[in-house]
Amino acid sequence: MRLIKEDGKQAGIVSLKEALTYARDVGLDLVEVAPNAKPPVCKVMDYGKYLYEQQKKQQEAKKKQVRIQVKEIKVRPKTDENDLQTKIRHIKRFLSGGDRCKVTVFFRGRELAHKEKGLEILERIAKDLEELAKIEQAPKFEGRTMFMLLSPLAKKK
């Protein structure tokens, strides 16, 4: 087997017995790095320390991950102008924070006869937010609700 010492230098091709003896003398572990190579490659290292460093790298990578949430705003077909402007401000805040936003229009009772009002509201919101967001999912009607999904535009660098 090919042996790599703890400092990264190659010790050449040695027998398993010699490699184990060397690792024991140095007080470290003998780890098989490439078992499919001809001859197999083994490295002398502190295996516990190696596992600890790998775990730390994974934790750092996980910290830097960005989780995108889907925020939801609910409106009704009879939502007044001022209330609608407030909801649009909330949506702008969500989008600028990097989150996606689901805008839902709820219909109750006879409001279902006027689905076009819900569509108008969703189109108006999309028009007001066209510089901040793109429509990820077009307005869609399911049961008593109509919704669309907005996602933030890619930031220009």
The contacts of residue 81 (CB under 8 Å, 6+ apart) are none
The predicted-structure confidence for 98-144, as pLDDT tens digits, reads as follows: 889 999 999 998 888 888 998 999 999 999 988 888 998 899 888 89
pLDDT at residue number 91: 92
For the chain, the structural domain boundaries read 2-49, 70-152
Per-residue pLDDT of the chain (157 residues), as tens digits, is 899 988 888 888 999 899 999 999 989 999 988 888 888 999 999 999 989 999 999 998 888 777 778 899 999 998 888 999 999 999 999 988 888 999 999 999 888 888 899 899 999 999 998 888 899 889 988 889 999 999 988 765 4
**CATH of the domain spanning 2-49:** 3.10.20.80
- Rama region for 147: left / alpha / beta (φ>0; ψ in -120 to 50; rest): beta
Helix, coil or strand: residue 81:
helix
pLDDT at residue number 54: 92
> Topology of 70-152 in CATH?
Translation Initiation Factor IF3 (3.30.110)
The whole-angstrom separation of Cα 91 and Cα 137 is: 16
Q: Please, are residues 18 and 44 in contact by the beta-carbon 8 Å criterion? A: no
